[in-house]
Structure formats: structure tokens, C-alpha cells
């Protein structure tokens, strides 16, 4: 790796480590005993199906995945045999690791979802969520190195043709539906929605407490989710515009900051439900869904 790329990687990972400090708990009084959650063992499942592979990759990064379009559109992009062989060789050497990272993110987020329902401690959840952000940082570096390789091999006209073809076939997935967006930016259960969907027989006092929490926190949550969507769209567009790696990494750090805040609020919501609103039996019903 070139020294400049190494410095960027170290800067990014250092920034992440500074971002993720433990947050002061909003609620101190426990009403329901919280279980310890065992250290997660992460699986790396293979992704053989191309559609599933692409879906997992697009969840893990908002950066354009140029190589897939290039290798499947050799004639349309007027790529000669020498260019194609060089691009294919680069893809074969890098793609397996990128897919592995994306799959690790998917598995880790699934474990976090379950850990939240199992009353995993806030510190445990935030620490393991940080790992997904670090993985995304590594994947971002890989994808930007891939873009650099593409720009090195293609001429200017081929790049312009690639951008047009990519935007036609893989436009940015602008998530207008809020439930879809919340699920994308937050790997934890959406507890307020769960309370609405599951019949746990809330009394009037509980309904009032839920309404108060929602009024105080829902607007902020929607604002943060929309900000992630906007920033991810920025990353997509900046990559196409050949913005510098350093400036794109700054956007990725900003996305990480917002996502960490979202997960913090979601965990505080769960703890507020457990300690201040629901009975133990109500929580058991809710967390079993």
C-alpha cells in the first residue's frame, strides 16, 4: 500500500476510535434484570448468488461498485483485451476480501439485533456496533482503491461512458420510505414500532409514557436517519465526480458519527421501555418477536 493511502487509513481508523466513547446512561434505575450477553462469534457465510452478493455489498457501502458493471459491459464501454485482463485480474485479487467484509457486517448486525432483544448491555452493543463501522471504513478504502485502479486503466471517454451506464443501471437508492430507511441505518429493533405491532395490553399510564418518549425522540430520529441518507448520496455522487479519497473518507466518518448516535438512542429507548414502562411479562412478549 502506498504511504499516502496508509496514512488515510490510519487517520480514518483513529477518527473512529476517538468517536466511540461510552455514553452516559439516561436511566439508572433497573426494574427488570438485564442478562449478560455472551461475546459474539461472527460467521462469514459464503455469498454465491450474484443478486444476494450485490444486495449485501450495497448495504455495506454506498460507493458505486464499478467493477461489476465494467466486466459485464466490455463491448459497450469499448474496453480492449489488455484493459479487460488487467481489470479482471485486479477484481479477482480484491473482490473476495470485499465480499468477506460485507458479509461480516451483515452477520455482525444480525447478532446485534438479537443481542439488543436479549438485553445486552449498552456498552456491549455500542462496542460491537463500532466494529461494523470499522469494517465499513476498511471496505471504503478498498472501494476507493478500486476506483483509482479503474481510473488508471480507462481513458476519459471510457470513464464517462461507465458513469452513464452505472447511473442508468445502479442509481443511488434514495430511501423515501422512512421504515425502510430506519432499518437501513439502524441494525437494532425498532422498539416503538414493535410496541405498536404487538398486543402487550398497555394501560393508560404506559401509553402516556410511550407518547411522551416518542414526542421527545421521534423527530430527532427521523432527522438523523434522513441525514445518513443524504450523506450516503453525497458519497455516491462524489465518487462519480472523482472527488479525492480524503474528502470522501471525511463523509464516511460523518456517517459513522450519525449512525452511532442513532444506535445510542435506540438502545436508550429499549432501556427506557424495560426499566420505566413495561412489566417483565410485557417485555418478554415484546422481545420474543
**pLDDT mean over 78-84:** 97
Q: What is the pLDDT of residue 12?
A: 52
- The residue behind cell 445486552 is 120
Cα four-point dihedral sign 36, 42, 43, 46 = positive
Q: At what angle do helices 122-153 and 245-272 cross, to 10 degrees?
A: 160
Task: Sketch the domain layout of the chain as residue ranges.
Answer: 3-13+48-287
- As a whole number of angstroms, the longest Cα–Cα distance in the chain is 72
Distances (CA, A) of 121 to 25, 199, 264: 11, 26, 12
- As a whole number of angstroms, the distance between CA 231 and CA 220 comes to 16
Q: What is the pLDDT of residue 228?
A: 96
pTM of structure: 0.81
For 259-275, write each residue's pLDDT tens digit.
Answer: 999 999 999 999 999 99
Mean pLDDT over each residue of the chain, to the nearest integer? 85
CB pairs under 8 A, 24+ apart, for 45-49?
A: 45/103, 45/107, 46/103, 47/99, 47/102, 47/103
- As a whole number of angstroms, the distance between CA 116 and CA 229 comes to 24
CA 24 to chain centre: 24
Q: What is the pLDDT of residue 284?
A: 94
**pLDDT mean over 218-224:** 94
pLDDT > 90 fraction of the chain, expressed in percent and rounded? 75
Q: Which three cell numbers stand for residue 244?
A: 479525492
For 15-57, write each residue's pLDDT tens digit.
Answer: 544 444 433 333 333 333 333 333 333 333 444 567 788 889 9
For 112-159, write each residue's pLDDT tens digit.
Answer: 999 999 999 999 999 999 999 999 999 999 999 999 999 999 999 999
Amino acid at each position: 500500500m502506498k504511504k499516502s493511502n496508509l496514512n488515510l487509513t490510519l487517520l480514518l481508523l483513529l477518527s473512529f476510535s476517538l468517536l466511540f466513547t461510552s455514553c452516559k446512561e439516561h436511566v439508572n434505575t433497573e426494574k427488570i434484570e438485564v442478562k449478560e450477553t455472551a461475546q459474539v462469534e461472527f460467521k462469514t457465510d459464503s455469498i454465491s448468488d450474484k443478486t444476494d452478493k450485490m444486495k449485501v455489498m450495497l448495504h455495506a457501502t454506498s460507493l458505486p461498485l464499478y467493477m461489476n458493471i465494467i466486466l459485464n459491459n466490455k463491448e459497450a464501454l469499448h474496453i480492449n483485451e489488455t484493459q479487460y485482463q488487467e481489470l479482471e485480474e485486479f477484481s479477482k485479487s480484491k473482490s473476495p476480501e470485499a465480499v468477506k467484509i460485507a458479509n461480516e457486517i451483515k452477520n455482525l448486525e444480525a447478532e446485534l439485533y438479537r443481542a439488543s432483544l436479549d438485553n445486552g448491555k449498552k456498552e456491549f452493543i455500542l462496542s460491537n456496533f463500532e466494529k461494523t463501522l470499522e469494517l465499513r471504513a476498511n471496505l471504503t478504502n478498498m472501494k476507493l482503491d478500486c476506483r483509482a485502479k479503474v481510473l488508471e486503466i480507462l481513458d476519459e471517454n471510457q470513464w464517462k461512458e461507465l458513469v452513464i451506464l452505472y447511473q442508468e443501471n445502479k442509481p443511488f437508492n434514495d430511501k423515501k420510505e422512512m421504515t425502510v430507511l430506519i432499518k437501513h441505518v439502524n441494525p437494532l429493533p425498532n422498539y416503538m414500532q414493535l410496541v405498536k405491532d404487538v398486543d402487550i395490553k398497555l394501560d393508560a399510564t404506559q401509553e402516556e409514557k410511550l407518547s411522551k418518549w416518542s414526542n421527545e425522540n421521534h423527530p430527532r430520529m427521523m432527522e438523523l436517519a434522513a441525514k445518513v441518507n443524504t450523506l450516503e448520496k453525497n458519497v455516491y455522487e462524489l465518487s462519480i465526480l472523482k472527488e479525492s479519497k480524503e474528502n470522501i473518507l471525511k463523509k464516511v466518518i460523518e456517517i459513522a458519527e450519525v449512525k452511532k448516535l442513532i444506535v445510542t438512542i435506540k438502545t436508550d429507548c429499549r432501556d427506557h421501555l424495560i426499566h420505566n414502562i413495561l412489566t417483565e411479562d410485557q417485555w418478554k412478549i415484546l422481545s420474543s418477536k
